Amino acid sequence: NINFTQRINVFKYHSRGYSSATPNTHSRPRVVVLGSGWSSIFFVKHLNPKQFDLTVVSPRNYFTFTPLLPKIMSGMANTITASEPFLTFMKKRFKDNSTFVHANCVDVDTKSNSVTCAPVDGANTLFSINYDYLVIGVGSKTNSFGIRGVEKYAFFLKEVEHAEKVFQRVLDNFSAASMPFVSDEERRRLLHFVVVGGGPTGVESAGELSVLMNDYLSKVYPELRQFVKVSIVEGGKRLLPTLRAESSEYVSRVFDRNNVNMCFGKVVCEVKEHSCVLKELATGQTEEIGCGLVLWASGLKETELVSKLQKKLNMPENSRALLVDQYLRLQGTDNVFCLGDCCRLAPTRLSDNLEAVLNATGSPTLEALLKNRPKLARDFPQVRRTKWKFKEEKFKSAVAEIMAKSEREAGGGGAGGETRETFLEILKHIDNTYTPPFPTAQNAKQEAIYLAKMFNNGSLLGGGIAKAGFGEHWKGTLASLGGYRVVMNSPFVNLNGGLLPFFFWNSIYLILFTSCKMRALFIVDLVMSFFTSRHIIS
Ligand code: FAD
Ligand code: MG
Ligand code: MG
Ligand code: MG
Ligand code: MG
């Protein structure tokens, strides 16, 4: 058994104890939260207001329910439905011991325990806020991969303003194309909408756009129907690569039927004002296609604050996010934690803690490791059932290779076998094949609830460690293709289309919404979409 003192030894750098350079004059520890997105709102929702004073700093004074953005972008949902004023939300639980600071955090000083902020209106008066505990949940940015013209001409979909802008552009292009003096060629260009990226955001956007075109705009502008085209560009071989192959096939069938032009094995290598350049990956051949809108839904990138902190803490720059340990604590700090898209879990390595592992397993064998897995998994998430797939061929062949190598080195004749060295190699393999939680709202929420609970029970305060590290539970993935078509992968069932996943999609969001206002408005949006047409104003 790893007892508490041993565990403290394992994570030496946490046992330094916590010392704040700025003495706290409050009776309660002061928690400063950066950001007002998924992770922040659920952290605030679960943190005990009786134990902490709270300050939230964000340039956006509302929470955005991002899964609704593709619906807003196509006029199916209202912007108010998808946003929650943060101050109102926070004040429901934290009465007079909370503050919302409408500002950008521009720097974090982990030595003096303070953050530097800049007001959102661009005024260059910087001010600082001290914290006892800092929770960073600043999310990520869309990655343009430095491709020419993307920042200037492409549209993004990360915020409600983005969704509104795309919808306006679509409507404006229809108005422009309906003018009597416009040539057919120009009409074709104006009404060609290109979505870049075959992940969930790209697929949902292309789906919503195609339904908007087919079911609505083509009826309002019947004479323009022949010019309309929606394209989706994906470098890989299938859409929704993280979902099951059947779901990708279903999406392809639906898109085929809805006249979505799917370009596989291609990437966009330049975006211009009225066109974009496609490159075929296999041949390197390029072609320029005219279009009226490029929606960039491809990849994530760290925010400026995150890259600044990475440099300060000497973290590898190629990791998109801040590295945290299994307790979501920023590496190299005692009292700074990170949540959501801006963090990447890099648990304490098994191979760096051989003694502690041997303490738990008793002997350096795979069998002992397996037997003691539940116990070890509390401190080392890489051996959790969902992470270490010991039954898979990949793992088996890696072990076989390690054994063969040790056999060769021992001079053959069965002299190798399971030794401390081979055990260490196996641990290294498990460490190296660990995949951190994906940057999704689902995981951001789970991380936030975990951290709030650990704050409430005091285990992570003062540099301590928790009873168990964070491990995500995948509850399923849903993607709406517009209209009633939804694909759903979950640990129990996989459904492609039909009423059941559509029902799930709606009910899950009804549960996930952060307020009754959102729920009521969502139902109104849904009901109204049956009875009235979309709200077209441009
Ligand atoms: P965010 O929610 O992005 O919040 C970041 C917050 O930090 C924002 O309030 C921002 O204003 C603030 N901020 C930024 N910089 C600073 C700074 N310097 N100082 C202070 N504050 C700052 N995930 C799912 O699981 N399911 C889905 O169906 C799904 N659909 C999606 C659809 C779309 C269109 C998009 C874009 C994303 C979707 N996601 C989905 C992913 C999900 O939105 C993210 O994983 C989630 O938002 C991450 O939460 P977060 O708190 O880390 O960041
Ligand atoms: Mg956040
Ligand atoms: Mg958000
Ligand atoms: Mg984000
Ligand atoms: Mg008017």
The DSSP code for 283 is: T
Question: Vertex 23, ends 19 and 25: CA angle to 5°?
Answer: 140
* pLDDT of 92 strictly over 80: yes
Question: Vertex 328, ends 96 and 10: CA angle to 5°?
Answer: 125
pLDDT digits (tens, 9 = 90+) for 229-280: 999 999 999 999 999 999 999 999 999 999 999 999 999 999 999 999 999 9
pLDDT, the chain, mean = 91
Mean pLDDT of 163-187: 97
Measured CA to CA, the distance from residue 170 to residue 537 in angstroms comes to 11
Higher pLDDT: 528 or 306? It is 306
- Please state the ipTM of this predicted complex: 0.96
Which atom of ligand 1 is closest in space to residue 36's alpha carbon?
Answer: 9
From atom 49 of ligand 1, which residue's Cα is the shortest distance away?
38
* pLDDT of 94 strictly over 70: yes
Say if CB 35 and CB 139 are below 8 A apart. yes
Mean pLDDT of 296-325: 91
* pLDDT of 8 strictly over 60: no
Question: Model confidence at 16, in pLDDT bands (50, 70, 90)?
Answer: very low
| The 3-state secondary structure of 207-224, one letter per residue | HHHHHHHHHHHHHHCHHH
Mean pLDDT of 369-394: 93
- Distance (Å) from CA 34 to ligand 1 centroid: 12
Q: Under DSSP, is residue 100 helix (H, G, I), strand (E, B) or coil? A: strand
Question: Residue 137: nearest ligand to its CA?
Answer: 2
- Distance (Å) from CA 192 to ligand 5 centroid: 28
Question: Model confidence at 124, in pLDDT bands (50, 70, 90)?
Answer: confident
Highest mean pLDDT among 216-220, 336-340, 358-362, 410-414: 336-340
Structure tokens at 333: 């700090």
From atom 11 of ligand 1, which residue's Cα is the shortest distance away?
60
Question: Model confidence at 407, in pLDDT bands (50, 70, 90)?
Answer: confident
Residue 533, pLDDT score: 75
Q: Rounded to an integer, what is the distance from CA 5 to the centroid of its chain? A: 35
Question: Residue 538: nearest ligand to its CA?
Answer: 5
* pLDDT of 19 strictly over 80: no
Which atom of ligand 1 is closest in space to residue 104's alpha carbon?
Answer: 19
- DSSP E strands in 209-302: the ranges are 229-234, 260-264, 266-271, 275-280, 286-290, 293-296, 300-301
Residue 283, pLDDT score: 96
Mean pLDDT of 298-307: 93
Question: Model confidence at 345, in pLDDT bands (50, 70, 90)?
Answer: very high
Q: What is the pTM of this model?
A: 0.93
Residue 14, pLDDT score: 37
Nearby residues for ligand 3 (ion, Cβ within 5 Å): 37-38, 64, 66
Measured CA to CA, the distance from residue 352 to residue 272 in angstroms comes to 50
Question: Residue 83: nearest ligand to its CA?
Answer: 3
Length in residues, the chain: 538
Percent pLDDT > 70 in the chain is 94
> Measuring CA to CA, how many Å separate 269 from each of 116, 201, 233, 390?
37, 20, 11, 40
Choice from 57, 87, 138 to test ligand 1 binding pocket (greatest atom count within 8 A of CB): 138
Question: Residue 537: nearest ligand to its CA?
Answer: 5
Question: Vertex 489, ends 488 and 493: CA angle to 5°?
Answer: 100
Residue 412, pLDDT score: 66
* pLDDT of 2 strictly over 80: no
Say if CB 220 and CB 213 are below 8 A apart. no
From atom 30 of ligand 1, which residue's Cα is the shortest distance away?
67
From atom 19 of ligand 1, which residue's Cα is the shortest distance away?
105
Measured CA to CA, the distance from residue 84 to residue 61 in angstroms comes to 9
Residue 512, pLDDT score: 94
> Measuring CA to CA, how many Å separate 298 from each of 59, 125, 146, 375?
24, 35, 12, 39
- Distance (Å) from CA 172 to ligand 5 centroid: 15
Which atom of ligand 1 is closest in space to residue 159's alpha carbon?
Answer: 36
Mean pLDDT of 336-364: 95
